[in-house]
Amino acid sequence: MLHMLLLILKILGIGLLVLLGLLLLFLLIVLFVPLGYEGQGSFIGKVPRGRGRVRWLWGLISLSVSYDGEASAKLRLFGIPLFDLLGGGEKKERAEKGRGRHKKRRRRKNKKQAGEESGQSRTAPEPEESPEFSPAPEPELSAQELSGGAEHGAGGEESSRPGKLLDRIRAFFKRLSETARHLIASVKRLLKQKEELTAFLENPDTREAVGFLWRRLKILLGHFLPKKASGRILFGADDPCMTGKILMYMSWLYPLYGGSLSVEPAFDRAVFEAEGRFKGRLRMIHLAAAAVRILLNKKTRAFLKAFLDK
């Protein structure tokens, strides 16, 4: 009996260790296996086109997104398409089937109407003349009744006009006073919030926390931004002077895009064309490490709590 109990406990322990090992393996895969992404797009002839792909586990799981007049997003497992998330192809097929059914119904309706018209033209009875009926004469009112009704209506309108005008003036000033009251209250509330926000941002602990978050963000962007990128922009305005000014402003941003983006000005025509592609990868371990460091920093936790409370 004791031997059987130990054997059962041994089997349960081995199963638990296997389960923990699988969970640990899955966690390591999620944290360290890179998530690759790539994309390309163009805007030529006022027609936007684009295509992108995100792959994980060396392409075993992938998501493809494309736009060429119609958006499409397909999820693939082991290279086999499972389903279209946006349903672009299915919508197109349904629309084509609907148009085909509509055309068939319209043809049948036209044929039916043509047959009915031909039948009516063959056996159309002559219209019978109906007797004419003259409307009954309306009773005439006397001149005294007409003048009395007109005087009564004019007197009622003259007596009601001043009252309606006063009511409208009172309602207008009432709305104006309520609007001014709400506006003054909003300005006071904004001034109070501005003072509180200024005092909060000028706090040394807040400045240190913001600097720490900014450094973490720059490190994350260095890991997540594309490693390879290239592109081309062709632009031009009707006025060559304006094209030169745009080129001058874009030259200020040259340290950001460097040699990966080709900028071509066109001084002889108004045009805008662009195309580019990028490729990169990211690992969740970098995001997890940044989150742990932020949560372990006391000043950053206090800053985030105070910022969310505000």
Per-residue confidence band for 122, with pLDDT thresholds at 50, 70 and 90: low
Mean pLDDT of all residues in 86-100: 59
Paired residues of 52 in beta bridges: 39, 65
The reported pTM is 0.58
- Residue 37 is predicted with a pLDDT of 94
Give the range among 52-61, 116-125, 187-196 with minimum mean pLDDT. Answer: 116-125
Of the two residues 93 and 113, the one the predictor is more confident about is: 113
Q: What pLDDT, in 10s, does the model give residues 59-76?
A: 889 999 999 888 889 998
Instruction: State the average pLDDT for the chain.
Output: 79
The dihedrals phi and psi of 283, each to the nearest 5 degrees, come to -120, 140
Give the range among 38-42, 101-105, 123-127, 294-298 with minimum mean pLDDT. Answer: 123-127
Q: Distance (Å, rounded) from C-alpha 29 to C-alpha 57?
A: 8
Per-residue confidence band for 301, with pLDDT thresholds at 50, 70 and 90: confident
Of the two residues 243 and 184, the one the predictor is more confident about is: 243
Per-residue confidence band for 39, with pLDDT thresholds at 50, 70 and 90: very high
3-state secondary structure of 29: helix
Q: For tokens 């932020």, name the residue.
A: 294
Q: For tokens 């068939």, name the residue.
A: 104
The residues, ordered by sequence, that sit 6+ positions from 234 with a Cβ below 8 Å of its Cβ are: 264, 266, 271, 272, 273, 274
